[in-house]
Amino acid sequence: MRSSSALIATAGLVAVVLSGCASAPAPAASSGRSSEAVTVRGEFGSEPRVEFPTPLEPEETQCTEIIEGEGELLQEGQFVLLGASLFNGSTGEEAQVVGYDDDAAPLTLGGDTPIAFTKGLSCAREGSRVVVVAPSEELISPGSDPESAAGGDSLVAVFDVQRAFPARADGAPQLTRDGFPAVVLAPDGRPGITVPKADPPVDEVSEVEVLKRGNGGVVEDGDTVVVQYTGVTWADGEVFDSSWENGAPTTFVVGDGDEAQVIPGFTKAIVGQSVGSQVGVIVPPSEGYGDQAAGAIPAGSTLFFVIDILGVI
Query: Do 214 and 227 meet the contact criterion of CB atoms below 8 Å apart?
Result: no
With bands split at pLDDT 50, 70 and 90, how would you rate the model's confidence at 23? Answer: low
6: number of Cβ within 10 Å: 11
Q: Which of 11-20, 161-170, 251-260 bottoms out in mean pLDDT, i.e. has the lowest?
A: 11-20
Kindly state the average pLDDT of the residues 282-294. 93
Q: How is domain 33-164 classified at the architecture level of CATH?
A: Roll (3.10)
- Asked if residue 227 has pLDDT above 90, the reply is yes
The residue count for the chain: 313
* 99-115 confidence digits (pLDDT tens): 998 789 999 998 889 99
The partner residues of 130 in beta bridges, in order of sequence, read 65, 159
pLDDT exceeds cutoff 60 at 275: yes
pLDDT score at 8: 35
The count of other CB atoms within 10 Å of the CB of residue 116 is 28
Answer yes or no: is pLDDT of 13 > 60: no
User: 3-7, 200-204, 242-246: which has the minimum mean pLDDT?
Assistant: 3-7
Which of 63, 167, 71 is closest to 126 using CA atoms? 71
pLDDT digit string, tens, across residues 243-262: 998 888 999 999 887 777 89
Please say whether the beta carbons of 11 and 86 come within 8 A: yes
Q: In the predicted model, is pLDDT for residue 32 greater than 50?
A: yes
**CATH number for region 172-312:** 3.10.50.40
Over 90: is that where the pLDDT of 228 sits? yes
Q: Do 31 and 131 contact (CB within 8 A), yes or no?
A: no
pLDDT tens, position by position, 111-137: 889 999 999 999 999 999 999 999 999
- pLDDT reported for residue 118: 96
pLDDT at 24: 61
Beta carbons within 10 angstroms of residue 289's beta carbon: 19
Mean pLDDT of the chain: 89
For residue 205, the tally of other CB atoms under 10 A from its CB is 14
Chain centre to alpha carbon of residue 167: 7
The reported pTM is: 0.82
Among residues 158, 281, 156, which one has the least CA distance to residue 209?
281
Residue 111: its pLDDT value, please? 83
| Position 130, amino acid | V
Where, residue-wise, is CATH 3.10.50.40 in the chain? 33-164, 172-312
